[in-house]
């Protein structure tokens, strides 16, 4: 236990352990769960206070999802959070994403937009920039490979079908799916989204690679161009 903590803080820090042992992890609050992983506080700040600052900062309102927003530099600006604790929190965020993705993989079907959206949801919905992925499929709709083809605001003038289809041809893909996120959380297609989709579908038709869908990921929601008959 941190030698800088007062007796009162030590007792406060031990309570989540006792509560978990007595009632099980499912009965702990989000703050208590994070406090157990952080283990110790610092002088003048109990580990529960540190956990609360991370989960409920004044400038973000997402609660436990704030775990995904922090950067190393931001975390280390919090008094009591050094490099080791910052790394622990970043690894916790990554582990949560991988657990969610592994769970979604059980129902993954590249012919079903909802399963594709669920699989990529945790990877993409917390990003602060737009990322567009290209998914390349074989004749049985099995994934041959995926690649990120643009970062930042999706711009039809910068994203050229030529570069995209070079990737697809190298993988011997017979069909492709576009997938990107909207950091605003609203998956409604923009004018640029509609224009890019139209250009890529037309180019694919000329060389025999079908654009099956364009899926836009929002905050726990998505829009599929195929489902909406926009493609």
Percent of the chain past pLDDT 90, that is, above it, reads: 44
Whether residue 102 is predicted with pLDDT greater than 90 in this model: the reply is: no
Residue 114's pLDDT band (cuts 50, 70, 90): very high
Q: What is the pTM assigned to this prediction?
A: 0.65
Q: Where are the domains of the chain?
A: 7-101, 108-224
How far is residue 127's CA from residue 154's CA, in Å, rounded to a whole number? 14
Query: Mean pLDDT, to the nearest integer, of 14-34?
Result: 85
End-to-end Cα separation, the chain, in angstroms: 60
Residue 73's pLDDT band (cuts 50, 70, 90): very high
**Which structure tokens are listed for 114?**
């909802």
What is residue 56's DSSP assignment? Answer: S
- 218 to 3, 52, 126, 164, 223: CA distances (angstroms): 45, 27, 9, 23, 8
Three-state SS at 97: helix
The CATH fold assigned to 108-224 is Cytidine Deaminase; domain 2 (3.40.140)
How far is residue 36's CA from residue 96's CA, in Å, rounded to a whole number? 16
For tokens 């690679």, the residue is: 209
Q: According to the model, what pLDDT value does residue 134 have?
A: 95
Q: What is the per-residue pLDDT across 159-217, written as a single tens digit (0 to 9) for each?
A: 778 888 999 999 999 999 999 999 999 999 999 999 999 999 999 999 999 999 999 99
Task: Pick the more confident residue, 215 or 119.
Answer: 215
Whether residue 78 is predicted with pLDDT greater than 60 in this model: the reply is: yes
What is residue 27's DSSP assignment? Answer: G
Half-sphere exposure of 205 (CA within 13 A, CB side): 7
How far is residue 161's CA from residue 199's CA, in Å, rounded to a whole number? 7
Q: According to the model, what pLDDT value does residue 147 have?
A: 92
Range from 5-9, 71-75, 156-160 carrying the lowest mean pLDDT: 5-9
Residue 1's pLDDT band (cuts 50, 70, 90): very low
For CA atoms 145, 150, 152, 153, the dihedral sign is negative
How far is residue 124's CA from residue 132's CA, in Å, rounded to a whole number? 10
Q: According to the model, what pLDDT value does residue 123 have?
A: 84
Whether residue 12 is predicted with pLDDT greater than 50 in this model: the reply is: no
């Amino acid at each position: 236990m941190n030698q800088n903590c007062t007796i009162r803080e030590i007792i406060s820090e031990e309570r989540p352990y006792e509560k978990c042992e007595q009632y099980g992890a499912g009965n702990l609050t989000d703050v208590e769960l994070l406090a157990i992983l952080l283990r110790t506080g610092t002088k003048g700040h109990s580990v529960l206070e540190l956990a609360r600052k991370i989960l409920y900062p004044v400038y973000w309102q997402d609660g436990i999802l704030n775990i995904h927003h922090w950067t190393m530099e931001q975390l280390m600006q919090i008094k009591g959070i050094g490099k080791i604790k910052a790394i622990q929190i970043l690894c916790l965020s990554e582990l949560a994403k991988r657990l969610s993705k592994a769970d979604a993989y059980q129902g993954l079907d590249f012919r079903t937009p909802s399963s594709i959206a669920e699989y990529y949801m945790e990877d993409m919905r917390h990003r602060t920039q737009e990322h567009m992925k290209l998914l390349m499929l074989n004749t049985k709709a099995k994934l041959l490979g995926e690649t990120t083809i643009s970062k930042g605001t999706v711009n039809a003038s910068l994203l050229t079908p030529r570069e995209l289809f070079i990737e697809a041809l190298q993988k011997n893909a017979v069909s492709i799916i576009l997938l990107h996120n909207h950091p605003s959380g609203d998956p409604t297609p923009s004018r640029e989204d509609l224009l890019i989709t139209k250009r890529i579908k037309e180019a694919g038709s000329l060389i025999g690679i079908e654009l099956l869908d364009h899926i836009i990921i929002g905050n726990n929601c998505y829009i599929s161009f195929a489902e909406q008959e926009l493609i």
